[in-house]
Structure 1
Amino acid sequence: MVGFGPEDSHFVAELTYNYGVGRYRLGNDFLGMTIASSQAVNNAKRLQWPINEISSGFYETEAPGGYKFFLEEKESSKKDPVMKVALAVSNLAKSRVFWSELLGMKVYEEDKGQQRVLLGFQDDQCKLELQGIGQTVDHGSAFGRIAFSCPKKQLPDIEALMKKENQKILTPLLSLETPGKATVQVVILADPDGHEICFVGDEAFRELSQVDPKGEALLDENMAADKSQEWFAKHNIPKPSA
């Protein structure tokens, strides 16, 4: 889990190494993440990472695998530099009803001409931007999900509302055991375009999501000691490469 601060107050991304996968087919569902950070722009230039200035102080770049990132050469006025995450939708009006009227997100900006709406749960948190693309949303093989924490007592109400409104529930409310740590309650939904949405009980989630002070060192150590070659040899299959 990587981000600019603790998960209870910052947006974080989950990066997962999946054994047996050498390449993902990107769809058109994830349109990018926007980060306001002069340091990020300076880092990209210093490391000679390919970035393209699409307007004054606003850059486009790609993470390995083709995921889009947009960098603003300024500092965020909020505590989290991650400003927004953009998802594609096939019918903006329909998706707006789902995310705003059913899930309760506040509409911060709306541009019907540009087919976009900006939503969020809190003023100082990362926002979700929905962009209408006028075609079917293709999740490819690289899709993920977006997750929100909320008081666990709200989870049964969320599930009940989705059932009442005939919305898709991918995983009914259940408890997930994490040995030696908290047991978390989750319910996983899908919006009209199949974007997966996980709601997790906040009380246990806060216990699970404590920042590990050794996190970066442990990550570097495990990446350096990658044993994927051993895993593939043990399973007698060749290691795929992208």
Structure 2
Amino acid sequence: MSSGSSLQESTSDNRRLLHFTMKITDRLAVRHFFCDILGMKILRHEEMDFACAAQCNGDFVSPWSKTMVGYGNENSVFVFELNYNYDVEGYEYGNDFSSVTIRNRQAVGNARQLLDKKFIETDNSQSIIVRSPDGHRFILINDDVSPGGNPVQCLSLNVSNLKKSVDYYTRLLEMKINEKESDDNHVKLYYGLTTTNQDSHVKTKAGFLLDNQCQLELIQVETPINRGTGYGRKAFSCPISDVESIEKLIENNEHTILVPSMELGDLPDSKVKVVILSDPDEHEICFVGEENYFKACETDPDAENKFYKGLENKPDDPNKYVIGEDESTKQHDKQ
């Protein structure tokens, strides 16, 4: 593997943090927040008539839509998957999610100028802290990354036992600790490479960029983690050969596998292999085989039109699900 100056390799340098899923309740309001305020673009949009076999839309039996947004192609930067369940009225958001940190001057300016003040927590010369329409917290840094860099710096999640969680992610999932930005109360983890060389463009074999990617921060809290029904899921890429080996490792260490390894997709040459895990606090983790996902995550130039067409063609079910889980089926049922 080639390297630049001040380069560090993770113990598993062929994996990468790809995206984080968020359950949303108002697609137009959320589009305004991510695109008009944060400055991202709609990269892909899909409409699904049935629930995802890998529970991508949560534990709901509902038609749903998936909108991918970001500052660039997912093969180069961290993005967000915004999931809208047509038959779900709302969600209970717990304390599992802490924040996302973004370094982008334009986003700061947009928030100050365009965002309703009720969504702004704090504002100073260095940063502004805002919330999305569904309450997700974003820390916007009044600075820019280098050209072509990844503005999304960090995904932060709360944990009830930092030591146990760090052991899970480092020993089992082989993430590396960012020692300079960690202490007894929080730890930053990453795959890939950190470098000050702006000309470095190290990639995985399939083509995913590894330089200076979004980090995962685990924050110790003193209360039990409540994920509610509005919980998210983080996705990592890895070689397809790693999917089953990760599954076996997690199983052998007696941790939870939510969805055993399976293939998603309709066409044989576009199927992606995934396994869904659950960490010690039940934060969901998806590992996806990078070879076919690299093709699947290409930006669709018609994504914006598909997003608006989806609003027109898929009316909401008047008998929406209410919040609450049927313990016998582990699925959300209509009342």
Give the structure 1 partner of residue 166 of structure 2: 96
Identify which of 53, 59, 68 aligns with 2:128. 59
Q: How does 1:112-151 map to 2 (within 5 A)?
A: 112=184, 115-122=185-192, 123=194, 124-151=212-239
Shift of 1:180: 7.9
Shift of 1:48: 3.6
User: Residues of 1 paired with 2:82 and 2:310: CA distance?
Assistant: 14
Contact kept? 1:24, 1:65, Cα under 8 Å: no
Give the structure 2 partner of residue 220 of structure 1: 308
Residues 181/142 of structure 1: CA separation in 2 closer, same or farther (3 Å cut): farther
3-state SS in 1 of match to 2:98: strand
Shift of 1:155: 1.2
User: Residues of 2 paired with 1:153 and 1:239: CA distance?
Assistant: 39
Shift of 1:144: 1.7
Give the structure 2 partner of residue 41 of structure 1: 108
Output the amino acid matched with 1:171.
Answer: V
The answer to whether 1:72 aligns with 2:162 is no
Give the structure 1 partner of residue 72 of structure 2: 5
3-state SS in 2 of match to 1:134: coil
3-state SS in 1 of match to 2:154: strand
3-state SS in 2 of match to 1:45: helix
Shift of 1:179: 4.2
Residues 25/239 of structure 1: CA separation in 2 closer, same or farther (3 Å cut): closer
User: Residues of 1 paired with 2:115 and 2:284: CA distance?
Assistant: 35
Residues 222/177 of structure 1: CA separation in 2 closer, same or farther (3 Å cut): closer
The answer to whether 1:106 aligns with 2:173 is no
Structure 1 unaligned blocks of 5 or more: none
Shift of 1:177: 2.6
Shift of 1:221: 3.7
| TM-score under structure 1 length normalisation | 0.89
3-state SS in 2 of match to 1:207: helix
Q: How does 1:150-169 map to 2 (within 5 A)?
A: 150-169=238-257
Hey, which bits of structure 1, 4+ residues long, moved more than 2 A?
A: 48-56, 177-181, 220-223, 237-240
Q: Which has the higher contact order (CA 8 A, sep 6+)?
A: 2
Give the structure 1 partner of residue 14 of structure 2: none
Give the structure 1 partner of residue 86 of structure 2: 19
Contact kept? 2:188, 2:215, Cα under 8 Å: yes
Structure 2 unaligned blocks of 5 or more: 1-67, 195-211, 323-335
The answer to whether 1:175 aligns with 2:263 is yes
Shift of 1:239: 9.2
1:44-81 C-alpha deviation (Å, 9 max, x unpaired): 12214332435532111110111111100100247110
Contact kept? 2:89, 2:320, Cα under 8 Å: no
Residues 238/183 of structure 1: CA separation in 2 closer, same or farther (3 Å cut): closer
User: Residues of 2 paired with 1:90 and 1:238: CA distance?
Assistant: 33
User: Residues of 1 paired with 2:223 and 2:121: CA distance?
Assistant: 27
Give the structure 2 partner of residue 28 of structure 1: 95
Contact kept? 1:188, 1:199, Cα under 8 Å: yes
User: Residues of 2 paired with 1:127 and 1:48: CA distance?
Assistant: 27
3-state SS in 2 of match to 1:17: strand
Residues 179/129 of structure 1: CA separation in 2 closer, same or farther (3 Å cut): same
With 173-182 and 24-33 compared, the bigger mean Cα shift is at 173-182
Aligned residues: 232
User: Residues of 2 paired with 1:117 and 1:144: CA distance?
Assistant: 20
